[in-house]
Amino acid sequence: MTALESGKPVEITDAEQAPDPTRARLREWGHRALLVQPLRAASESVGLLLVTWTEPHRFTDDERELIGVLSGMGATAIRSMRLYLKLDDAYLSTVSKLTAMIQARDGYHEDHQRRIAADAVALGERLGLGDDVLRDLRYASLFHSLGKIGVPATILAKSGPLTTEERKIVQEHPLLGARILESIEFLRSVVPIVRHANERWDGTGYPMGLTADAIPLAARILSVAIGYEAMLADRPYRRALPAEAAIAELRTLAGVWYDPKIVDEFVTMIEARGAVAAAEEEVGASRELSILAEITPEFHTLLDMQQLLARILAILERHMAGAAFTILLREETTGDLVVRSAAGSRTDLAGPARVEKGRGLSGWVVERGEAQIVDDVRTDPRYLGDPSVRSEMVVPLLSSGRAIGALVVSHPSVGVFGRRDLTLLQAVAAQIAAAIDVAELHERLKRAANTDALTGIHNYGYFYGRLEEEVARAERRTTPLAVAYFDIDGLKRINDTYGHLAGDAVLRTLGGVIGRRVRMEDIPARYGGDEFAIVMPDTPRDEAERVVQRLMDELDHSEVELSDGGKIRMPARSWGIATYPLDGKSAKALVENADTRAYARKRARTDIAP
């Protein structure tokens, strides 16, 4: 982040000389040298370029120049792409709002276009259309009625037959919609579908009177989807038809208005969907009760949060085959959503491990606390994640009215989830949120039991238990282990001079520095009184001495703030290190040897003092 904020490169020639968090991360990656080059274009930081080496490396001027040129080219390309996407998004947002307004004026419900898009794309997939054509079909489904902005509301709402003049006005709307979409570069391939979606197989349609295969295939598909959804909706001139009657009407018009092969495929798809829905209706209640009966006992038997979440998702996966499940929890410090558990056949592709605050479909749901079902995520600009996902259901995890995360269910097919699925997931999500509250309370109590209240680092009991575990581990794996032990020289003098509150401030400051500066794998603790210790797994003596020496150097330059606003220098410390197995093969022996060396260091300093 330093390079991003300052706009200047950051060079690390040897990871061993880097600050502790960076050093640990580079070790994890297996790298020893790092150059972080900001990507800047037009005084704007758009990202970072990281170049790493597996060995220590001193950077040359030629390398810096080459990386600078490449980063400049990359930054310019990224900025141009972002500006282009912003322009596309602005166009798309404007057209979408305009279409929604037209649909409302035409008397359709707000999800009418969504259902047309879901049906058309699902039908296109069954007919083997490629991804590019499906994308165009999806947008055409959403914007096919855009040209109706030029049709007076009195004509759209007319309950009787249209006059010849009124019919001519209506038949102009595909041409107007096509002209509007032609002005948006990335939607130009959608134009032929929108222009010809109202053509008829027998040539009696509009605006061009095309017949049969002369009508673009995607337009023929969209025509069937539009016709079916229109039959299911109330219109000013007739009532909505039942699904069975709409299917019968489609069959009657096959070969007249609609491509007969497409009608056959569409009817097969709708009837299969209806059979599944009927079967789900028949067994739905028992399925839901079965899932809840299986999940509920888990909340009463498991306190470990990770294990609980994994068990819940495993149960859901068993009952909802083919779906992928993810639980994301809000990170308090950033507001980002972090994946805490995942299950399903595609968990390696289910989405990013972290979602920035407010971004994506899950971010939207958590920000608003509202559940969402999306029949086709490709039609929803909020979606981020796995490109193979088609439908998704996201339910907020609500605790005391506040969303603390989200339960996400994804599926590779369009239009999989229904209201019953949502009701079930909301019941499960409520139990998950309650369990998280209990588990977090349990974690806080456990941390309190293992933490020294004054210094904020581990206490004696936790330290000794972990040391014994690490000794056993070192013995099994024949790996090194070091224990550092140190105490504060002259803490009694500070208590006598400044008072015990000042002594507490010294301990608190020292504990804070240790907690921040030791390595991630180390176990720091207040051993007792003015004594501290650190367990350092997989660490030989020379490395342990370097770690402790850096820590002591920082403490030498630390100041302690007193309650009255004054400051005092951190008092001196005496320290010693013991290593397994040379200095002992038990926790007790290692601590005693480290203590003996710390005392010897104190005596040596006292003996040479004037």
HSE at residue 98, side-chain half, CA atoms within 13 A, is: 17
- 597 in the same domain as 485: yes
**DSSP-assigned beta bridge partners for residue 271:** none
- In a domain, residue 129? The reply is yes
* Cis peptide bond upstream of 207, omega within 30: yes
CATH of the domain at 350: 3.30.450.40
- In a domain, residue 587? The reply is yes
CB distance 29 to 52 below 8 Å: yes
- In a domain, residue 579? The reply is yes
Instruction: Please give the DSSP secondary-structure letter assigned to residue 261.
Output: H
pLDDT tops 90 at residue 386: no
User: How far, in Å, CA of 192 to CA of 219, rounded?
Assistant: 8
Query: Into how many domains does the chain fold?
Result: 4
- 260 in the same domain as 134: yes
Mean pLDDT of the chain: 80
Q: What are phi and psi of 51, to 5 degrees?
A: -120, 125
For residue 606, name the pLDDT band (cuts at 50, 70, 90): low
Two tokens at 417?
């989830």
The pTM for the full model equals 0.44
CA 221 to chain centre: 35
- 470 in the same domain as 436: no
* Buried b / exposed e along 440-468 (16+ C-beta atoms within 10 A): eeeeeeeeeebbbeebebbbeebbbebbe
- 167 in the same domain as 310: no
Give the pLDDT mean for 142-171: 76
CB distance 298 to 310 below 8 Å: no
Who wins on pLDDT, 79 or 437? 437
User: How far, in Å, CA of 367 to CA of 360, rounded?
Assistant: 11
- DSSP strands (E only) in 80-170: none
Per cent of the chain over pLDDT 90 is 21
- 591 in the same domain as 501: yes
Who wins on pLDDT, 505 or 350? 505
- 193 in the same domain as 114: yes
- In a domain, residue 386? The reply is yes
Give the pLDDT mean for 179-197: 82
- Other beta carbons within 10 angstroms of residue 43's beta carbon come to 6
Who wins on pLDDT, 159 or 196? 196
Q: Residue 475: which residues within 8 A CB-CB, separation 6 or more?
A: 580, 581, 585
* CA angle at 98 for the pair 94 and 100, rounded to the nearest 5°: 120
Report pLDDT for 18. Answer: 76
- 470 in the same domain as 550: yes
- 555 in the same domain as 425: no
- 492 in the same domain as 358: no
* Tens-place pLDDT, residues 99-111: 555 555 454 545 6
- In a domain, residue 510? The reply is yes
Helix or strand (DSSP H, E) at 283: helix 260-301
- 110 in the same domain as 65: no
- 172 in the same domain as 38: no
Last residue of a domain, which of 50, 83, 116?
A: 83
Report pLDDT for 597. Answer: 93
Q: What are phi and psi of 534, to 5 degrees?
A: -135, 125
- Amino acid identity of residue 280, one-letter, is E
Report pLDDT for 542. Answer: 92
Q: Shortest CA distance to 246 belongs to which of 258, 384, 429?
A: 258
Put the strands of the sheet holding 33-41 in their side by side order.
10-12, 33-41, 44-53
Q: Shortest CA distance to 480 belongs to which of 524, 547, 542?
A: 542
* Tens-place pLDDT, residues 512-558: 888 888 888 899 999 988 999 999 999 999 999 998 999 999 998 88
* Tens-place pLDDT, residues 158-180: 767 788 888 888 788 888 878 87
CATH of the domain at 173: 1.10.3210.10
Two tokens at 413?
């097919």
**DSSP-assigned beta bridge partners for residue 330:** 337
Q: Residue 175: which residues within 8 A CB-CB, separation 6 or more?
A: 147, 195, 207
**DSSP-assigned beta bridge partners for residue 526:** 532
Q: Shortest CA distance to 225 belongs to which of 190, 198, 252, 245?
A: 198
Torsion sign across C-alpha atoms 284, 287, 293, 294: negative
Report pLDDT for 348. Answer: 43
* Tens-place pLDDT, residues 67-97: 777 777 777 666 656 655 554 454 455 455 5
Residue 164: which domain range?
106-274
Last residue of a domain, which of 441, 475, 506?
A: 441
* Tens-place pLDDT, residues 572-605: 999 999 999 999 999 999 999 999 999 998 887 6
Two tokens at 293?
């009966």
CB distance 404 to 329 below 8 Å: yes
Q: By mean pLDDT, which of 221-225, 282-286, 322-326, 413-417 is the weakest?
A: 282-286
- 28 in the same domain as 122: no
Q: Shortest CA distance to 309 belongs to which of 146, 433, 447?
A: 433
For residue 112, name the pLDDT band (cuts at 50, 70, 90): low
Report pLDDT for 199. Answer: 92
Between the two ends of the chain, the Cα-to-Cα distance in Å is 48
CATH of the domain at 465: 3.30.70.270
- In a domain, residue 124? The reply is yes
Last residue of a domain, which of 406, 441, 476?
A: 441
* Cis peptide bond upstream of 161, omega within 30: no
- In a domain, residue 449? The reply is no
Q: Shortest CA distance to 407 belongs to which of 382, 384, 387, 433?
A: 433
Q: Shortest CA distance to 460 belongs to which of 533, 365, 360, 548?
A: 533
**DSSP-assigned beta bridge partners for residue 409:** 325, 393
- In a domain, residue 310? The reply is yes
